[in-house]
Amino acid sequence: MTNKHLKNSVREWIRENNEQLVKLTQGLVRIPSISGDELKIQEFIHKFLKDMKLKPEMIYPDLEILRKDVDYFETTSFSRVGYKNRPNVATTLTGSGDGRSICLTGHVDVVSPEPLEGWTRDPWGGEVEDDLLYGRGSGDMKAGIAAMFIAVQAIQEQDVELMGDVQLETTIEEEDGGVGGNLFLRLVRPKVDAAINPEPTMHNLGVASGGVMYFRVTVKGVPAHAATAHFGVNAIEKMMLVVNALRDLNSKRQRTTSFKIVEESDPRMKGHVTTINIGTISSGDWPSTVPAKAILESRIGWPPGETREEVQKQVEEAVSEVTKSDPWLSENPPIVDWFGWYARPHVLDLESDFIHLMKRNITEVVGVTPKFAGGSAGLDTRFFAHRSIPAVTFGPETQRIHSFDEWVSIESTLKTAETIATTLIDWCGV
Ligand SMILES: [Zn+2]
């Protein structure tokens, strides 16, 4: 059979076994797997891969190895629960010759569905209505994981003998930075020639990720009875000066930072490819006391072009400028500390063989030439890219990820599986 025939036959198999893809996605959605609680779903996947006659391994993150890497940071879920019951799952479909290898990788963790009263469907129900499958993680990214497994099953069932190895892996804590997940597997698994991560890209081709860091600002005040508030110093009011300084820095950065790949794929992002988000502020005990301390937590995200150190310096300088302008703050400077997410951005070489191949296969299966996307959020693909491996995100259509009534389109998940399967044939060789 020619490549073209093989590709058609695996695509047909995927279409005929559409029910299996739906069932597998539902099975994954029905296991809650909020970052930190990934064991059950990984056991489910381990068994699924064993039933596929593969030899999956449970791979637990090892802090001693991780800490030596430049991209290591302590994730917030690690601080909360550690890595003890949080395995990654990985296996290899071994090729028959010396073809090019590829890794199919997806994250099993999801964000919390709270507050539940916002949902009109069961977030862990996997309900299907027409083409849509609902649930937390349906789009981000359990349908994508199902698509990559079904693509490999199609290859097996149609007796396609690939020459290159296909690595399959499901990882933990992507929502938290992917350190114990994708980064750890890059440190202990064999190096590959390319990778596909079926995050929900709406059939665009994700070729970049943003830098992401978290920071905290702590401001001190002086407590006093509210009746004699002027004897104290109100930490909330002092924190407002810091908030304004961060807002000014944000506006300035948004005016001067651009990233064409993102702006062209979504014009609404123009002027917003970098953001300082004030995520939490906590302060005060009750109305009758002048608050003595205020703490702000923020995420800064930015596209490729700036280093982590340059961005940190800008934030610290903005806080130190506002400190100088206020007598109390000058005497009691706010403390800035960096915690959690500490990710470098990445962008791939858009002229590489792999990008051209993906573009061609997406166009053939989906019927539309994909746009390039990425660069406004952190992604696991950066860990491949920083090792010079072309790693793309490409996945189904979805709406309301990280929000109420998240859904994924089944038809687009089938197309994702077809695109992955045809790319395995072209890339690994037969
Ligand atoms: Zn995701």
Q: State the distance from the centre of ligand 1 to the C-alpha of 174, rounded, in angstroms.
A: 7
DSSP 51-120: HTT---EEE---HHHHTTSTT----HHHHHH-STT--EEEEEE--SSSPPPEEEEEE--B----SGGG-S
Predicted confidence at residue 31, as pLDDT, reads: 98
In whole angstroms, what is the distance from residue 42 CA to residue 182 CA? 14
SS3 182: helix
Q: State the distance from the centre of ligand 1 to the C-alpha of 145, rounded, in angstroms.
A: 11
Q: State the distance from the centre of ligand 1 to the C-alpha of 38, rounded, in angstroms.
A: 14
Q: State the distance from the centre of ligand 1 to the C-alpha of 316, rounded, in angstroms.
A: 30
In one-letter notation, the amino acid at residue 212 is: V
Instruction: Kindly give the pairing relationship between strand 195-197 and strand 102-107.
Output: parallel
Exposed (0-12), middle (13-18) or buried (19+): which is 47, by Cβ within 10 Å?
Answer: exposed
Predicted confidence at residue 332, as pLDDT, reads: 98
Q: State the distance from the centre of ligand 1 to the C-alpha of 397, rounded, in angstroms.
A: 13
Predicted confidence at residue 3, as pLDDT, reads: 87
| Cβ–Cβ under 8 Å, residues 51 and 153 | no
Q: State the distance from the centre of ligand 1 to the C-alpha of 282, rounded, in angstroms.
A: 28
CB neighbourhood size of 167 (10 A): 20
Greatest extent of the chain over all pairs of C-alpha atoms, in Å: 88
In whole angstroms, what is the distance from residue 365 CA to residue 5 CA? 14
Q: State the distance from the centre of ligand 1 to the C-alpha of 123, rounded, in angstroms.
A: 16
Q: State the distance from the centre of ligand 1 to the C-alpha of 378, rounded, in angstroms.
A: 9
Q: State the distance from the centre of ligand 1 to the C-alpha of 240, rounded, in angstroms.
A: 33
Q: State the distance from the centre of ligand 1 to the C-alpha of 293, rounded, in angstroms.
A: 35
Q: State the distance from the centre of ligand 1 to the C-alpha of 408, rounded, in angstroms.
A: 13
Residue 176 structure tokens: 């938290």
Q: State the distance from the centre of ligand 1 to the C-alpha of 395, rounded, in angstroms.
A: 10
Q: State the distance from the centre of ligand 1 to the C-alpha of 141, rounded, in angstroms.
A: 5
Query: pLDDT means per 10 residues in the chain (430 residues)?
Result: 91 98 98 98 98 98 97 96 97 96 98 96 98 98 98 97 98 96 98 98 95 97 97 98 98 96 90 96 96 98 96 98 98 97 96 98 97 91 97 97 96 98 98
Contacts of residue 357, Cβ cutoff 8 Å, sequence gap at least 6: 423, 426, 427
Phi, psi angle pair for 58, to nearest 5°: -95, 120
Contacts of residue 418, Cβ cutoff 8 Å, sequence gap at least 6: 10, 11, 14, 15, 151, 365
Predicted confidence at residue 265, as pLDDT, reads: 84
Nearest partner of 394 among 361, 350, 346, judged by Cα = 361
In whole angstroms, what is the distance from residue 246 CA to residue 251 CA? 9
Ranges of H-type helices in 158-221: 184-188
Q: State the distance from the centre of ligand 1 to the C-alpha of 398, rounded, in angstroms.
A: 11
In whole angstroms, what is the distance from residue 210 CA to residue 253 CA? 15
Q: Which domains does the chain have, with CATH numbers?
A: 3-209+346-428 (3.40.630.10), 211-343 (3.30.70.360)
